[in-house]
Structure 1
Amino acid sequence: MRLTPQGLRVGQITLPCTMGRGGLSDAKREGDGATPRGVLHIVGCLYRPDRTTAPAPWARPILPGMLWSDAADDPQYNHLVHAPYAPSHETLRRADSLYDIVLITDWNWPDATPGAGSAIFFHQWRRPGYPTEGCLAFSRSDIRWLASVTPPGTPVLI
């Protein structure tokens, strides 16, 4: 897979997607809103079992209390954590549908460099063209399809 100006190219298919509000970056930093350039790998898939079925056999359900640390000064930075967790984090079980299906990449993971960016996910978009905080976002049907055909370890050139 590779990101092109038209979207994410998967074999002969191009999926329209949006990226970070900060554009593409060779020097990704926490909070810059940029999508990091490089080769990322898919390392996990999460889904909301109360809203959808598992998109792949290896997908894990997002349960209440699941969070993702974005606290650069915490040892759990850029890792899945569970509530209660006081440092800065993202709630994975969101009220909106953005994280109903999430592909997790290995950006700055598993050995995170503090401040080099966290939570570069592939997830559902708010609407076409609406930028993310650095992730790649797709239509609901496209993220479901992508999760169903993308095994762990798949490289993505951004």
Structure 2
Amino acid sequence: MFFKSLLLLFLAVLPAAAFELPSNSSQCVVGISDGWDSSNVTLTFYEKSGGAWKPVGDSWKARLGKSGLVWGKGLSPVPNGAVTKKEGDNRSPAGVFSIGGAWGYDSTVRKSPSQFYQKVTSRDLWVEDSASPQYNQHILLDHEPATAWEKKQQMKQDDDAHALKLFIAHNAPPNAVPNAGSSIFFHIWRGGGTKPTAGCTTMEKPKLQWVISRIDPARHPLYVLLPVADYQKYKAAWKLP
């Protein structure tokens, strides 16, 4: 059901000049980095009112993949000839992505009533195996993980950074491409923000909790992640905040 809902948010791939943010989207997290090889990013939450995007609250610092960014597979088109996200490249996917669906270790979180939330147990898996037909999907086992493969895909880890997550729909089902990158989330940062990620976007826990409490699936929330030069390049044509 969760991924069927996400499917409705995807657009056909269009030439870069023709793409713009979906008109029915009225919430957007914008991430701007200094460049393609930077693992630091500044995030700003926007909402659309009266046809105009307006920031909600102050901007805040977050972290990206330790090798920086690379074009991802989301709503926005990829420039001709551009390098794209690959599994294990330690880069965060750049572009425009739907966001939604939260997972965490607690039984409840502050959220919109319509926002999907799954309490993570030892039986929750997220498949990062490119050879699996369930690549980049959530699986709920009807038994405790028994095989080495099942244990490797477990979402619940001995790591507070994974205690709360919000899904970023990069390379999302049902159109997930093998080896194009998986398990991309907003989650809690490590070391008070001193450590980069393997491709996710991380931030302090209170700010992530605030984002999850704020977003509303009915408003078709988005994540725009770009280096500053590319953000300025596409801002007008894509109707970015």
Q: Same fold (TM over 0.5)?
A: yes
The amino acid that maps onto 2:187 is: H
How far 1:41 sits from its partner (Å)?
1.0
Larger radius of gyration: 2
User: What is the alpha-carbon distance in structure 2 between the residues aligned to residue 64 and residue 80 of structure 1?
Assistant: 13
The amino acid that maps onto 1:10 is: F
User: What is the alpha-carbon distance in structure 2 between the residues aligned to residue 107 and residue 42 of structure 1?
Assistant: 9
1:17 aligns with one of 62, 67, 74:
62
**Paired residues, number:** 156
Whether the 8 Å CA contact 2:104–2:120 is kept in 1: the answer is: yes
Moved more, 56-65 or 134-143: 56-65
Structure 2: state its 5+ residue gaps. Answer: 1-28, 34-40, 47-54, 72-83, 226-241
Task: Give the direction of change, closer, same or farther, for the CA distance of 1:96–1:87 in structure 2 (3 Å limit).
Answer: closer
How high is the TM-score relative to the length of structure 2? 0.60
Please list, as runs of the form range in 1=range in 2, the aligned pairs for 1:18-57 lying within 5 A after superposition: 18-26=63-71, 27-49=84-106, 53-56=108-111, 57=113
CA deviations 1:30-68 (Å, max 9, x no partner) are 000100111111131112126xx4131432211222111
1:156 aligns with one of 223, 230, 239:
223
Whether the 8 Å CA contact 2:125–2:150 is kept in 1: the answer is: no
1:66 aligned partner: 124
Whether the 8 Å CA contact 1:47–1:101 is kept in 2: the answer is: yes
Task: Give the direction of change, closer, same or farther, for the CA distance of 1:34–1:122 in structure 2 (3 Å limit).
Answer: same
CA deviations 1:53-109 (Å, max 9, x no partner) are 413143221122211101001100000123346268442112121121100121101
